[in-house]
Amino acid sequence: MSNVTVAISPDWTIDLDIPGITVLEWDFKSPPPADHIDIAVAPHATTPDLVERVADTGTKLLQLGSIGYDSIPKELPGDLLVANAATVHETATAEHTMAMLLYAAREVDRSLASQSEKTWDQFDTLGLADTTIVLVGIGGVGTAIAQRLAPFETNVIRVASRRREDMYGQVYDMNDLPELLPKADSVIVVVPHNEQTDKLVDDAFLSAMPDGSILVNVARGKVADTDALIKHADRLRITLDVTDPEPLPDGHPLWDKALLITSHVGGNTQAMLPRMNRLVRRQVGNYLTSQPFVNVVRGNQHG
């Protein structure tokens, strides 16, 4: 196969110095840079119009820049396939989750306040050792989080869409949450956003969590009910990498209510670009050798 055209968002620096490959830059806002594009590498942020943008270019693969693909329609034009960015963001997001969890569990906010006031404030904290953590979502990111929690000697209760046993033990389902949440010192939410998980973290969910327990949301903003977060923020230690709406507007009450808000930067480390580079090069290599694409999450792939 020769004369393959790859259009890449300027969000990414991808090394495709491969014979027979034409690389074009495309911001996915202006018209396509060519009439025919074989592989389109989307921006970091996934938006609902990405499929529409490539619909008339004969594109075989739309490579997303994110793990999440909830905004991508299930019905695709022609033979288009959509792949997510699994392998790119899991490790960094798990790392960010641990930073947020430790910030809350060791009350770093209180230490920062005492440093600012130049006072020597010694106090006990929850910590992580011997605590119970309910991990809601055990996909790629959830598994990476569980692996990082193990050395902290925590009791991790894993929850997914269906109950089962796997190599790591018992997996509970969403129907078990009312029983599990009252046992939690911390709850980490890392599920995809869909019809089943929309506003999963609602008033009932948060009401079941004990006073002083920690919530970490690194999933999607719409997985949590913002009004419910505000209602319970005075008794829970709420940390968020995602919000609804997003970006969170100036003056929104959640800014003051949540313990910690980061601006959806869980996957944003120096590792992201090299990992995205490897993924795109693999996809292009597979296309050149007529091998199946990896990470396909929408469309039917044959061969």
**pLDDT classification of 159: cutoffs 50, 70, 90:** very high
Q: Which two tokens stand for residue 22?
A: 């034409």
Long-range contacts of 248-254 (CB under 8 A, 24+ apart): 254/226, 254/229, 254/230
**Are 241 and 148 in the same domain?**
yes
∠ CA 238-240-246, nearest 5°, is 130
Tell me what pLDDT residue 234 has: 97
Question: In this structure, is residue 68 part of a structural domain?
Answer: yes
DSSP H helices in the chain: 50-54, 90-105, 108-117, 140-149, 177-180, 203-207, 226-232, 254-257, 272-288
**Are 134 and 239 in the same domain?**
yes
Q: What are phi and psi of 172, to 5 degrees?
A: -90, 170
Number of folded domains in the chain? Answer: 2
pLDDT digits (tens, 9 = 90+) for 123-156: 999 999 999 999 999 999 999 999 999 999 999 9
Tell me what pLDDT residue 167 has: 87
- pTM: predicted TM-score of the whole model, two decimal places: 0.91
Residue 74 has pLDDT above 70, yes or no: yes
Region 94-117: what's the mean pLDDT?
A: 98
**Are 105 and 233 in the same domain?**
yes
**Are 12 and 135 in the same domain?**
no
**Are 66 and 20 in the same domain?**
yes
Domain CATH number, residue 62: 3.40.50.720
- Round to the nearest angstrom and report the end-to-end CA distance of the chain: 16
Question: In this structure, is residue 303 part of a structural domain?
Answer: no
**Are 103 and 197 in the same domain?**
yes
pLDDT digits (tens, 9 = 90+) for 274-284: 999 999 999 99
CA distance 43 to 39: 13
Q: Is the dihedral of CA 146, 151, 152, 157 positive or negative?
A: positive
Question: In this structure, is residue 57 part of a structural domain?
Answer: yes
Question: In this structure, is residue 95 part of a structural domain?
Answer: yes
**Within 10 Å of residue 60's Cβ, how many Cβ atoms?**
20
Region 245-256: what's the mean pLDDT?
A: 97
**Are 31 and 160 in the same domain?**
no
Question: In this structure, is residue 277 part of a structural domain?
Answer: yes
**Are 119 and 129 in the same domain?**
yes
Question: In this structure, is residue 214 part of a structural domain?
Answer: yes
Residue 71 has pLDDT above 90, yes or no: no
**Are 43 and 78 in the same domain?**
yes
**Are 72 and 152 in the same domain?**
no
Domain hosting residue 119, numbered range: 90-261
**pLDDT classification of 2: cutoffs 50, 70, 90:** low
**Are 108 and 208 in the same domain?**
yes
**Are 148 and 254 in the same domain?**
yes
